[in-house]
Amino acid sequence: MNRRGIFAGLILLGIVACSPPDDPVPTPGTPLLVREPANFPPLPSPSDNPATTAGVKLGRQLFYDPQLSGNGKVSCASCHDPAKAFSDGVRVSALGVSGRALLRHSPVLMNLAWATNGLFWDGGSKNLESQVLGPLTNRDEMGHDLVILANYLKTVPVYKAQFEQAFPGEALHYATIAKALAQFQRTLISADSRYDQWVRQEGGVLSDEEQRGHKLYQQHCAGCHATDLFTNNQYHNNGIDVVFSDEGDGEGLGRERVTFDPADRGKYRTPTLRNVALTAPYMHDGRMDTLEDVLDHYSDRIKTSPTLDARLPAGGFRLATTDKKALLAFLNTLTDHQFVTNRAYRP
C-alpha cells in the first residue's frame, strides 16, 4: 500500500475524522487533519470555514438533533441515513414537519468536500454553508425559524459551550450553525470500496465480469460520472423527460430554475455512483426503483429534447443483456462498507 493509500484508510476508519461523543472536549481551533484518498482529485478546503475537531463534533451532534426542526421531531438524519449512504430509501420523503411529500428525491451526502459547483439537484446553493439553511427553514422539511433556533440553542448549556469551543469569538448565530453542519458533512468521505482497493492496488480483486463492466462504464458513463468521485459535479439532461413543467416553484425545469437560461432546461446535477447499490430509488424524483431500471433507461429509453446531453444517443446505447449484467456487477464494487458503518459518522 502506498503512503497516500494508508492516509485514505486512516480517514475512512475514523482515525482522523471526528471524535466520538464521549471523547474529551477538543481544544478550540484545533485543525481537523483530513488526508485525501490517493485516487481522488486534490481536496478543496474553504478558507472561510476550515474544519476543526470542535466544529466537526458540534456539526455531527446538530446533524442528529431533531430539535433543529420546528416540531422537534425531524433531524437532518431523518432523510439522510448513514446505513443507506446518507440517503433515505424512498422516492420523495414525507418525513418533514408538514407531512407533505417533497418534490425531489433526497440526494446522498458523501464526498461533498469536492462539490464546488453548487448543491441541490439544480445547484440552487453555492456551498454547504448555504445549502444547510434550505432544509432547516423549508416548511415541508425541518420548518424552523433560524433566529428562534439560534436563541433556543443559546439556552442549552452543552450547545452554548460547544459553540464557544468551535467558534471562539463568534456569536451563536444561524451562520455558525451552518458552519458546523458544513464541517461535519465535509468529513463524509467514501473511498474504500472494493473498486478503490483494486485501483489503488491495495489487495482488492475484481472479477473478469466486473472488469468488463468497468470498461463499459468508461465507454458509456465516465463522461458525466467522471474521475474516481464518479461525478463531474455538473448538470446534464439525461433524457428522462421531453416536457419540463414550470408549475409550482419550477422544480421541473431543472437547472434553468436557478440560471433562468433555457439551455439549462431539464438539467440536473450528476449524482455520484459511489454506494449506488445502497441508494435506491434513482433520479432527481426517485422515479426509477432499481439499477436495472436505470440501465434499461440508458440502453433503450433515452428521450430526445433540445437540451439532451450530447454524449447520449437518441433512443439509448442499445446495451446487450450481458453488457447490463457486467455494468451492474461493476456498480456493486463501488459499495463502501467502511463508510456506512463508520462510527465517526454516527451519533
Predicted confidence (pLDDT) per residue in 74-86, tens digit: 999 999 999 999 9
Predicted confidence (pLDDT) per residue in 198-240, tens digit: 999 999 999 999 999 999 999 999 999 999 999 999 999 999 9
What DSSP string describes 249-303? TSGGGBTHHHH--GGGBTBEEPPP-TTGGGS-SBSTT--B-SHHHHHHHHHH-BP
- pTM of the predicted model over 0.85: yes
Q: Give the three-class secondary structure for 341.
A: helix
Answer left, alpha or beta for residue 266, where phi above 0 means left and psi between -120 and 50 means alpha.
left
- Confidence label for 251 from pLDDT (cuts 50, 70 and 90): confident
Predicted confidence (pLDDT) per residue in 283-329, tens digit: 999 999 999 999 999 999 999 999 999 999 999 999 999 999 999 99
Going by DSSP bridges, is the β-strand pair 268-269/235-236 parallel, antiparallel, or unpaired? Answer: antiparallel
* Cell numbers found for residue 249: 416553484
* Cell numbers found for residue 154: 443559546
- Confidence label for 90 from pLDDT (cuts 50, 70 and 90): very high
Q: Residue 16: pLDDT above 80?
A: no
Lowest-confidence segment of 21-30, 87-96, 150-159, 274-283 by average pLDDT: 21-30
% pLDDT > 90, the chain: 85
pLDDT of residue 29: 64
CA distances in angstroms from 60 to 77, 121, 178, 318, 346, listed in the order given: 10, 23, 12, 45, 8
Average pLDDT over residues 132-137: 95
User: How far is C-alpha 114 from the geometric centre of its chain's CA atoms?
Assistant: 10
Q: Residue 1: pLDDT above 70?
A: no
In this structure, what DSSP letter does residue 308 have? B
pLDDT of residue 247: 82
Average pLDDT over residues 33-44: 87
For 130-179, the three-class secondary structure string (H helix, E strand, C coil) is HHCHHHHHCCCCCCCCHHHHHHHHHCCHHHHHHHHHHCCCCCCCHHHHHH
Give phi and psi for 282, each to the nearest 5.
-125, 165
pLDDT of residue 50: 92
- Confidence label for 73 from pLDDT (cuts 50, 70 and 90): very high
Residue holding cell 433566529? 147
Residue holding cell 420523503? 93
Average pLDDT over residues 124-138: 95
Residue holding cell 464518479? 230
* Cell numbers found for residue 170: 463568534
